[in-house]
Structure 1
Amino acid sequence: MHELVYVSDAKLYQLAKGLPRGSGGSRDLEAEFKTPLGGFKIGRPARKREPSLAAAIRILNQSSRAPAWFAETTVRPGEWIQFESPLAHRVAGDAVIFLDDDEPSDEYPTGGRLRLLLHGSRRHLVGERPTDLDDDIPNLLPSSSWVTFGEYLLRTIDEFGNKGRKTADKNTWRPYGSDDVEHGIHVLTEIMRPRYAAAWMAGYARVTAVIPIDGGVVLAATPLYVEYIESPGIDHS
């Protein structure tokens, strides 16, 4: 059994445009998908009267923009990816952040070298509400834009990870580079502790930025859906 954590209504309606709504919406549908790490099924979200998630994914898979595996080095902003990763997730104001484990393992060999960072809207969370960080990190308006999320990373650096840098005004945007992003990811890792809080999740997302950092890359994306899955290391035989 798999449990949905996040479903973006806006992306779902875009992909499922023209599909009829069923009385039970995506709650009554399941679909199985194959990945390089194995297969998994789309779960059943606790929401009513939405277009079919399984049908929307089927449309995407059959289109010219079918998702690539997230660890492929050729993925670029604007493209869709499919992922399986140990992720921690936290609410920050009106946003939700998913961040992967930064330690490599047999099940997750890209850990630390490829940092998967998902950013989306808090209102798209399904069921469970993760630990709220409103009192710990700056507020962020929901947005699938990397520019907006990049500003948030800078504020995180300024308020919690500033090492001798001039603190920026909260209402002032400033340019940022890969060093800022790398430091922002480090700060988020310290706050979210994915090494201890990450659970295996899978889903589809649209890439918003690919930022090279020292020894690797940050892959930022905004998800269509995210769901819990079993660790690839679990053997039921």
Structure 2
Amino acid sequence: MREFIYLSDAKLRQFIPHPRRLRRPGALRLTTPVGGIDLDAPTDDAGSARGRQLDQVVGHLAESARWFGEPDLRPGEWVWFEAPLLYVTLRRANRDLVLFTDPIPGADPQYPSADCRLLMHGSARHLLGMTPVSVEGPALTATDEGSSACTTFVTDAGEVVRTLTGAGHPAPPGARGVRDLLAALDAAQPDIPTAAWTQGYARVTAALPATATAPRCLVASPLTVEYAL
């Protein structure tokens, strides 16, 4: 049996099977005075149909998705991952935003995260019975004390959080803001329970190149997060 932590019904609905030209096995044909009518066999309940669709989608992605650590990924591509992940919400942000992050490089000797960090974002509504840890996170706004009006503005990390919740501009999140967000999540990791090994599929939101001080980072939105076997 598979045990899911997160399953996005919204992403699952994006996959529509090709129309079938032939009758499905088990379909019935009703003969009437004016001709024949094909009737579908009785369907299972919604839960069974959802499970079948998930199996079909996962089977499709198993053949087409790329490994999240590959260097030339683009937004919109599907990736698969296997990594220990922590999942949190931010106290000063929309509580519907849930973030998944891998451990600080070197924190888990069994996880070689030095080449590419993984940061995923989704809706807490899609968590399956799990309660994420609430952390302080980065400053989302700041005050320009150099101006006479002490203007408040949204920080780079705040812009990223707005983008990930759908409240900002429909553009890839800024690299500086992503780095600030990831640094704040890393700083909170000592207060978060041990990461669980997980696997799943996600759609790429942004792929940040390495810098002189930080490895590459993949930002993605998951379809599934489940405990790794």
What interval of TM-score do these two structures reach, taking the shorter chain for normalisation?
0.5 to 0.7
Q: Which residue of 1 aligns with 2:215?
A: 216
Residue 77 of structure 1, CA deviation: 1.4
Instruction: Give 2:179's aligned residue.
Output: 182
Aligned ranges 1:46-61 → 2 under 5 Å? 52-61=53-62
**AA partner of residue 222 (structure 2):** P
* Deviation sequence 1:119-172 (CA, Å, 0-9, x none): 001111112222344xx35xxxxxxxxxxxxxxxxxx24469xxxxx9953599
Query: Cα 1:196–1:55, aligned 2, differ >3 Å: closer, same or farther?
Result: same
Q: How far apart in 1 are the matches of 2:11 and 2:58?
A: 11
Partner of 2:3 in structure 1?
A: 3
Percent of aligned pairs sharing the same letter = 36
Distance 1:194 1:51 in 2: 39
* Equivalent residues of 1:103, 1:195 under 8 A apart: no
* Structure number, greater radius of gyration: 2
Map 1:85-124 onto structure 2 (within 5 A).
Answer: 85-92=83-90, 93-104=95-106, 107-109=110-112, 111-124=113-126
Deviations 1:67-117 (A, max 9, x none): 0011111222111000000100013411111000123455322x1431100
- The separation in 1 between residues aligned to 2:175 and 2:128, in whole angstroms, is 33
Query: 1:131-150 maps to which residues of 2 (within 5 A)?
Result: 131-133=133-135, 136-137=136-137
Q: TM-score under structure 2 normalisation?
A: 0.65
Query: Which structure has the highest strand share of the two?
Result: 2
- C-alpha RMSD of matched pairs (Å): 3.5
Distance in 1 of aligned mates of 2:181 and 2:4: 28
Q: Is the 8 A contact 1:100 1:194 kept in 2?
A: no
The 5-angstrom pairing of residues 76-87 of structure 1 reads 76-87=74-85
Deviation of 1:199 (Å) = 0.9
Q: Distance in 2 between matches of 1:80 and 1:194?
A: 31
State the SS of the aligned residue for 2:133: coil
| Aligned positions of 1:14-93 closer than 5 A | 14-17=14-17, 22-23=44-45, 25=47, 52-62=53-63, 66-92=64-90, 93=95
Pairs aligned (count)? 180
For the residue of structure 2 that corresponds to 1:53, the secondary structure is helix
- Residue 14 of structure 1 deviates from its aligned partner by 1.2
Change in Cα spacing, 1:194 to 1:73, as seen in structure 2 (3 Å) is farther
Instruction: Decide which moves more: 212-221 or 114-123.
Output: 212-221
Looking at structure 2, the residues matched to 23 and 226 of structure 1 have their Cα atoms a distance apart, in angstroms, of 24
Counterpart amino acid of residue 8 in structure 2: S
CA distance in 2, matches of 1:227, 1:52: 17
Q: Which moved more, 1:198-207 or 1:179-188?
A: 179-188
Say which of 203, 207, 218 aligns to 1:206.
203
Asked if structure 1 preserves the Cα contact closer than 8 Å seen for 2:141 and 2:153, the reply is: no
Name the counterpart of 2:132.
130
Structure 2: runs of 5 or more not aligned: 25-42, 143-149, 161-168
Q: State the alpha-carbon separation in 2 of the partners of residues 88 and 197 from structure 1.
A: 7
Quickly say closer, same or farther: Cα 1:51–1:184, change in 2 above 3 A: same
